[in-house]
Structure 1
Amino acid sequence: MNVLIIEDEVLTAKRLQNLLVRYDPAIRVLAQIPSVKQSITWLEDSQHIKPDLIFLDIHLEDDLGFRIIDHLNLTIPIVFTTAYNEYTLKAFKTNGIDYLLKPIDFAELSSAIDKFKQLHFTPGKLPDLSSITSLLYQHSRQDGFKDRFMVSAGSKLFSLATRDIAYFTFEQKATFLRTFDGKRFSVDYSLDKLCQLLDPKEYFRINRSMIVSMTSILSINALSAGKIKLALNPDFVQDALVSTDRITDFKQWLGK
């Protein structure tokens, strides 16, 4: 079986490929593509082998994954992978086989591929209504924001709960997260994308290079010229200053 992975998170793409190999070592991953534009170019190239199945992240670095389907009138079966749940119904209105929330569970991945195989060898058969209804109900009970992040330590990958993250920073041209117990990991997200993934009730971007959680704030200190400095847990080596243009929104966020 030939598979195409369209995913802009490097660690997630690697983990997905490992899970696919675990399911069946004969599965061939044709490519891992991070954007809508590159995906369209790749799929339009007649020299590339046509995939039997696509694993498609909905939120890509340049647009929604649905754009690929619309642009190419794509009919290749798709398993949607996403940190969001609000697109479930739209996914099943396309040629979606299944809808997996990140971090992807091996059992759910296996079920999705089994469903693909059943449909693949039974042309014209669609997912039954009860399974779709069940998925809609399951996903509708969640808030839609990312509740876990895939991080690495050496050669090991593991899943980290969002509630354990105190803040995110952009330093030395890379994005990092810091947990409440002081651990620091790099993540394959820009701060702009993190603002889309994180619950705005719990996290706020105080300046161009930092997003903090509500529970990480120990104290708020008013400085001269109307500036605001935060004391954080764990302590941040630099000054955690709220940008002047974000102070009003920051105060409103604190009052929510």
Structure 2
Amino acid sequence: MNVLIVEDEELSAERLRNLILGIDPSMMILGIIPSVFETIAYLENQSNIQPDLIFLDIHLEDDNGFKIIERLNLMIPIIFTTAFDAYMQKAFKTHSIDYLLKPINPLELQASLLKFKKLTAISTNRDGMVTTDTLPATMLSEKYKDRFLCTAGSRIFTFKTTDIAYFTIEERATFLRLFDGRHFAVEYSLEKLCQLLDPQEFFRINRTLLISVSSIREIHSISAGKLKIELNPTQSQEAYVSADRISEFKNWLGR
């Protein structure tokens, strides 16, 4: 399998390369490219070996990595690698496999590669060449987490994702709150939950709150650039959409 790394931080790129080869030494790293311009030039040149998978950082030395996708109408599967979670919803609208936050966790990287192999049904032909079937037109149809296991003392509970109104950060721990008002601790960060949950149903409105569309009771425009959300069930603290997420939030609501 041919892999292209698009990353402008030399140490991050080399670490990612070593992690990939440590997980699967058979992977061929075609190169490490630091810019949007050079990546577009490489992919447009049909004499170059084309990648089966691209690891793409978003903030590159000359522009935003999404420009590569937009310019080429890129259909090659992508695993995003970035230090920012603000672009997660936008990433899921592309031909993306996963969205990994830096520093890359080796176990999460391994899970992403397994996910890619499963989705693309990688096989080896008689000549030993790796081939891939066509990916679905969108990753939104893939299987997202539909149940959560929680404990309270000696008791174990399981809840359907459709029963969950929202997830919150409270005192450095993550909790889910059900529509019936009960809440339980979960062993996931909000960043990880954004990867596990269907982005059509859940949206992270700020640093501490990830909500389901069904939990929204009312939305109030407080002022230009400020939205207040009334949730069901009611949260102890008022919920606001972060200013930098308002546009994306509105697009999410209008899907």
Which TM-score applies when normalising by structure 2?
Answer: 0.52
Q: In 2, Cα distance between the equivalents of 1:142 and 1:102? A: 17
CA distance in 1, matches of 2:55, 2:97: 10
Letter in 2 for 1:134: L
- The answer as to 2:71 corresponding to 1:8 is no
Going from structure 1 to structure 2, the CA distance change for 1:139 and 1:10 (only over 3 Å counts) comes to farther
Cα distance change of structure 1 residues 138 and 115 upon mapping to structure 2, 3 Å threshold: farther
Is the partner of 1:130 in helix, strand or coil? coil
Counterpart position of 2:72:
72
- CA deviations on 1:145-169 (whole Å, 9 max, x unpaired) are xxxxxxxxxxxxxxxxxxxxxxxxx
Map 1:53-68 onto structure 2 (within 5 A). 53-68=53-68
Q: State the match for 2:18 in structure 1.
A: 18
Query: Where does 1:58-137 land on structure 2 (aligned, <5 Å)?
Result: 58-121=58-121, 123-125=134-136, 126=139, 128=142, 130-131=144-145, 132=195, 134=197
Indicate the residue corresponding to 1:29 in structure 2: 29
Distance 1:73 1:32, change over 3 A: same
Please show how residues 74-223 of structure 1 align to structure 2 within 5 Å: 74-121=74-121, 123-125=134-136, 126=139, 128=142, 130-131=144-145, 132=195, 134=197, 142=207
1:104/1:70 Cα in 2 relative to 1: closer, same or farther (>3 Å)?
Answer: same
Question: Contact 1:91–1:99 at 8 Å: present in 2 too?
Answer: yes
**1:194-247 Cα distance to aligned partner (Å, 9 max, x none):** xxxxxxxxxxxxxxxxxxxxxxxxxxxxxxxxxxxxxxxxxxxxxxxxxxxxxx
User: What's the CA shift for 1:134?
Assistant: 2.7
Instruction: Sort the Cα spacing of 1:73 and 1:25 in 2 relative to 1 into closer, same or farther, 3 A.
Output: same
Amino acid at match of 1:77: P
Measured after TM superposition, the shift of residue 102 of structure 1 is 0.2
- Aligned length in residues: 143
For 1:42, the equivalent position in structure 2 comes to: 42
Q: Please, what TM-score do these two structures have when normalized by structure 1?
A: 0.52
Structure 2 residue runs of 5 or longer lacking an equivalent are 122-132, 146-194, 209-255
Structure 1 runs of 4+ with >2 Å offset: 122-143
The Cα of 1:130 is off from its aligned counterpart by 2.6
Partners of 1:96 and 1:89 lie apart in 2 by 11
Query: Partner amino acid for 2:197?
Result: S
Provide the rounded CA distance (Å) in 2 between the counterparts of 1:102 and 1:30: 22
Whole-angstrom CA distance in 2 between matches of 1:40 and 1:114:
27
- Mapped to 2, the partners of 1:139 and 1:107 lie a distance apart of 24
Alignment-mate amino acid for residue 130 of structure 1: Y
Deviation track 1:108-150 (CA, whole Å, cap 9, x = no partner) reads 101111111111116444352635553867977758xxxxxxx
| Structure ranking higher in helix proportion | 1
